[in-house]
Chains A and B, each alone.
Chain A
Amino acid sequence: MALTLDDVARIAHLARIEITDEEARRTLSQLNDIFALIEKMQAVDTSGVEPMAHPLGGAQRLRADEATEVIDRAAALRNAPAQQDGLFLVPKVIE
């Protein structure tokens, strides 16, 4: 299965990445190489093998349900380009 330039444009849009036509062409050929590699791997019979969810073994550690975090709002807002009344301000989101 080979990708097209339209696929690349769509993937870039989904990731909100702006790319030039030249970059799109280069990315297309790289992605197609990756897909060729994946096709090779898909040829391997993996029936009966549980799909891996994480490269590290083991299980998720859990923490106790305690609200211990002290929040410094001023520090959190310091990097925001715009703020008001303790809120982050962003370009108007149109519903």
Chain B
Amino acid sequence: MSTSLARGWETVIGLETHAQLSTRSKIFSSASTAFGAPPNTQASVIDLALPGVLPVLNRGAVERAIRFGLAIGAKISPRSIFARKNYFYPDLPKNYQISQYEIPVVQGGTVAIRVGETEKVVNLTRAHLEEDAGKSLHEDFQGMSGIDLNRAGTPLLEIVSEPELRSSAEAVAYAKTLHALVRWIGICDGNMQEGSFRCDANVSVRRIGDPKLGTRCEIKNLNSFRFLERAIEYEIARQIDLIEDGGHVVQETRLYDPDRDETRPMRSKEDAQDYRYFPDPDLLPLEIQPAWIEEVKRAMPELPQAMRERFVTQYGLTPYDAATLTASREMADYFEAMVATLPKEPKLCANWLMGEVSARLNREDVELEAAPVKPQSLAGLLARIADGTLSGKMAREVFDAMWAGEGEADAIIEARGLRQISDAGAIEKIIDEVLAANPKSVEEFRAGKEKAFNALVGQAMKATKGKANPAQVNEILKKKLAGG
């Protein structure tokens, strides 16, 4: 971004995102949508496009589109139209894709993204329902291509942003926010390896200050955030180089090759697509009554943005912590389950979840749902920090044991004798002994050497095998040294 700006160019990016909707059955047939089945075992007569069959729209797919529309504050169109998008490809057996064209089900809406400290509201153009195509396999089948139609007819929501993104970083932030949102509202599993969430990026450049948009290229099928970023970066540099060298950008579809880290044209210009959209005579207009929208609204979960604001006001968390905790619904649910058990310590809960637990999950490459320590158990451990039974260091030892499956915090504390010494009398006695045994350190401290203080704390901790409450040790030691 900075390099193109420095060269006097502005980047204009719009994203088209395909989110596979998490329905059990396909958008127009009752075949299963489960991933990974043997080829062509989930392709019904409708998905195979046999003559005489008719599509019947899946209520679950429409409901998910409504949920998305509500989540981004869009207009849910009371009437929308399915259209045929005509093109020939072997994995599209009807020779047209059923999509929505002139009147989509979701219109407008906004998504708030964050890049560094800056928040930006991105306007959406639309989101429409359509069906996915099958899969072509180009490995060698006697010099032919293999066609698996299991994916044909899988419901997709194509989400189109306005061309308001100005850098690859903004594009990635937008895609990540959208990814978190569709998972949050339960309309898409977000599995990018399986292609459940993929982006096409429309990229163009123009001289800073030029009101006219440059010619755009569309980079298709970016199925990771990293590829999205790399592909856009490459494309920006390519277009600027081209124009600065006196050439001009040709509007075309390009593919990103991650191995060579470059984009290259997918189709030649002569073959420019002409999809000849027209309303599908097999499907009547989709009508959505206000009562249905109300019903969906009542079943909506609290949205991440609202939850983030609530975490700040209700629990006194910083906006940064609140944003981290609401990055996924799993994280937010885990946090709230902890706080429900330990209502007085939201900050402590947040710190442990974002610190110890997240580090542990990263290290072991485990998802939060699969974490061996449940939120109530973790809250049980934190309660022992809050009441002074454990120091932070001891708590980490107990946490490790809990993670290894040794049971609840209290049982581990008991079994390992980890109870922290918080009895002021006992600590005073130990400190008296330490002071008597280390006259040299005491002298040094009085002479102004701060380090000597730490040495004395260390001695006291050592004498108690690390079990003394460090805060109390500090306090009592300070008092004794000042008073003596």
Point out residues on A near B: beta carbons under 8 Å: 14, 16, 53-56, 58-69, 71, 73, 76-77, 82, 84-93, 95
* Bound CA–CA A54/B285 (angstroms): 7
Chain B residue contacts of A58, Cβ below 8 A: 284
In the complex, chain A residues whose CB is within 8 Å of the CB of B32: 67, 69
A32 to B287, CA, bound (A): 37
Q: Which residues of B sit under 8 angstroms from A87, Cβ to Cβ?
A: 39-40, 137, 141, 146-148
Q: Decide if B234 is an interface residue (CB 8 Å cutoff).
A: no
Closest A residue to B143 by beta carbon equals: A92
SS class, residues of chain B in contact with chain A? loop
> Which 10 A-B residue pairs are closest in the complex by CB-CB distance?
A65-B60, A87-B146, A59-B287, A67-B32, A62-B59, A88-B147, A69-B30, A86-B39, A67-B25, A60-B284
Given known pairs A14-B274, A76-B40, the reply for A67 and B145 (CB within 8 Å) is no
Q: Is B23 positioned at the interface, with any CB of A under 8 Å from its CB?
A: yes
Contact A86 B38 (CB under 8 A): yes
- Whether B56 and A59, one on each chain, are in contact in the complex, defined by CB atoms closer than 8 angstroms, is no
Known: A68-B25, A84-B146. A63 touches B30 (CB 8 A): yes
A58→B79 CA distance, assembly (Å): 11
Tell me whether B320 is interfacial, beta carbon within 8 Å: no
Q: Cβ of B283 < 8 Å from any Cβ of A? A: yes
B286 within 8 A of A: yes
- In the complex, what's the smallest C-beta–C-beta distance from B61 to chain A, in angstroms? 7
Residues from chain A with a CB closer than 8 A to the CB of B25 are 65-69
Q: Assuming the A-B contacts A62-B59, A65-B60, A84-B142, are A89 and B29 also in contact, with contact meaning beta carbons closer than 8 angstroms in the complex? A: no
Using CB atoms, name the residue of chain A closest to B281.
A54
CB nearest neighbor in B for A57: B284
Does B58 touch A at the CB level, under 8 Å?
Answer: yes
User: Measured between alpha carbons, how far is A67 from B46 in the docked complex, in Å?
Assistant: 13
* Number of interface residues, chain B, beta carbon within 8 A: 54
Q: Which residue of B lies closest to A61 (CB)?
A: B56
Binding site for A on B (CB under 8 A): 23-25, 29-34, 38-44, 48, 56-62, 79, 81-82, 86, 88-90, 103, 136-138, 141-149, 266, 274, 276, 279, 281, 283-287
Assuming the A-B contacts A62-B58, A67-B32, are A56 and B284 also in contact, with contact meaning beta carbons closer than 8 angstroms in the complex?
Answer: yes
Contact call A85/B39, Cβ cutoff below 8 A: yes
Interface of A is mostly: loop
- Return the chain A residue nearest B32 by Cβ: A67
Q: Which of A14, A89, A90, A92 contacts B276 (CB 8 A)?
A: A14
- Pick the contact of A71 from B31, B59, B142 — CB < 8 Å? B31
B142 contacts A89, CB within 8 Å?
A: yes
A-chain residues with CB within 8 Å of residue B44 when the two chains form the complex: 69, 71
A51 to B367, CA, bound (A): 50
Residues of the B chain whose Cβ atoms lie less than 8 Å from the Cβ of A66: 24-25, 30
Q: Which residues of A contact B61 (CB under 8 A)?
A: 65
Closest CB in chain A relative to B104 CB, distance in Å:
13
CB distance from A40 to the nearest CB of B (A): 20
Given contacts A76-B40, A84-B141, A91-B144, contact A65 B279 (CB under 8 A): no
Interface centre among B40, B43, B79, B82 (most CB of A within 10 A): B40
B286 contacts across to A, CB distance below 8 A:
59-60
* A91 to B141 alpha-carbon distance, docked (Å): 10
Contact check: which of B40, B59, B149 meets A65 at CB < 8 Å? Answer: B59
